[in-house]
Homo-oligomer: A and B are copies of this chain.
Amino acid sequence: MASKYLTNNPSKAIDECVASLNPDKVLIVTDQNVATKVIDQILIDSMVIKESQKISIPAGEDGKTLDTVVKIWQKLEYIGATRKSLVLNIGGGVVTDLGGFAAATFKRGIATVNFPTTLLGAVDAATGGKTGINFQGLKNEIGSFHKPRKVIISPEPFKSLNFKEIKSGYAEMIKTAIISDRDFYIRLLDMEKIIGDSEQLGEAVAKCVEIKESVVEQDPNEQGLRKILNFGHTAGHAFESIRNNYPLETFSLPSEIEGCNPDDKTFLKDPLPHGNAVAHGMLVALILSHIELGFDSQEITHYSRFLKENYGPAVISCEEIDLAIEKMSRDKKNSSYGVPNFTLLRSLGVPEINCQPSISSIRESLEIYRDLTT
């Protein structure tokens, strides 16, 4: 399947895309890791890359701050950027979120083009126009909606990702499929086959980007339909927050964690990748879908088997169920303060937004989730 987003020659695609937008100045936003791995190796033939000013931001979530945005604004001033200038983000989700927010607010908004270098970035942050930074420890608390003029997808940079990074992105692909297309979802469950074939992976990513773009097109500011993309994220964000922000000394260890040798405690230092958290959050959402909307329980069994095999056992302990509920109650996606808001499924590919199950149903689903995955 050919796609308007997909290319096997990213240098050429970037040059053509920038030429078609005809900006007066281009600022490339990237990070040090990407600069070394992608810009210096994969994009070596691009004239735009050669000739444009660049700013390298700190890699990783810690750099996703207002201070970094100020540095990008300053660089834009320095190069004399106007309203006709372009920000070209080359990197993972941190780069596209940050560079996107800086562009969204510079002179009330200048154009952006995203070239995502991670699978997660390609199917999640780089597409759809959500931009943002962390503030007071809250993820993407400050931000805006600002659609990139173009997202260029190439499987080339994914080849340098490790398996953990691929898996995290793949979970968001499964999410995109499960809310929109039963057959595509079933196909994606054959994860090893798709990941092992760069062409198939590229096509699947491009299909996900198309699905997301089409949803976003219909509801750019997340007033309704777009919320289907939050499937799995209510519980997923809570898991992410518990596993990643909790002081290590008070972290109560699940007895076994994916890929973890009981004598090796280094995994404790690793954060739970966003996609893995969503993969687990989706099981909670499927169980809730059964309780609230009569979703087929056989599909739950099917998915939970896939989950355990590829994303490991439960990521929270029994003792953390209350904490997870508390985190969900404070999620910014909630329309009422303290009432968790879920996207659920009637059946595969048929989502229902704004579901507000009772706290007891949520507790029940978390308990079943633990039973199914431990």
Give residues in A with beta carbon < 8 Å to B.
24-25, 66, 70, 73-74, 77, 80, 82-84, 104-109, 130-132, 135-136, 138, 140-145, 221-222, 332-337
- How far is it, in angstroms, between the C-alpha of A109 and the C-alpha of B129 when the chains are bound? 13
Known contacts being A82-B332, A336-B84, A337-B80, is A109 close to B145, with CB within 8 Å? yes
Contact of A141 with B332 in the complex, beta carbons under 8 Å? no
**Closest B residue to A78 using CB positions:** B136
Q: Which residues of B contact A82 (CB under 8 A)?
A: 332, 334-337
Contact between chains at A105 and B144 (CB < 8 Å)? yes
For A77, list chain B residues within 8 Å (CB).
135-136, 138, 141
Question: Is the beta-carbon distance between B145 and A108 smaller than 8 angstroms?
Answer: yes
Number of copies: 2
| Complex Cα spacing A108 to B250, Å | 33
> Among A144, A145, A222, A335, which residue has the most Cβ atoms of chain B within 10 A?
A144
Partner of A109, one of B106, B108, B221: B221
Question: Are A143 and B84 in contact (CB-based, < 8 A)?
Answer: no
Q: How long is the Cα–Cα vector from A142 to B25 in the complex, in angstroms? A: 18
Question: Which residues of B sit under 8 angstroms from A84, Cβ to Cβ?
Answer: 335-337
9 new A-B contacts, CB < 8 A, other than A77-B141, A108-B145, are A24-B337, A74-B136, A82-B335, A83-B332, A84-B337, A106-B142, A107-B332, A108-B131, A109-B144
In the assembled complex, the Cα of A25 lies from the Cα of B337 at a distance in Å of 9
- Say which residue of B108, B138, B334 sits within 8 Å of A132 (CB atoms): B108
Cα(A74)–Cα(B25), bound, Å: 35
Docked CA distance A336–B90 (Å): 25
A143 neighbours in B (Cβ, 8 Å): 105, 107-108
Q: How far is the CB of A289 from chain B (nearest CB, A)?
A: 24
**CA of A24 to CA of B336, assembled, Å:** 7
Q: How far is the CB of A270 from chain B (nearest CB, A)?
A: 29
**A140–B107 Cα gap in the complex (Å)?**
7
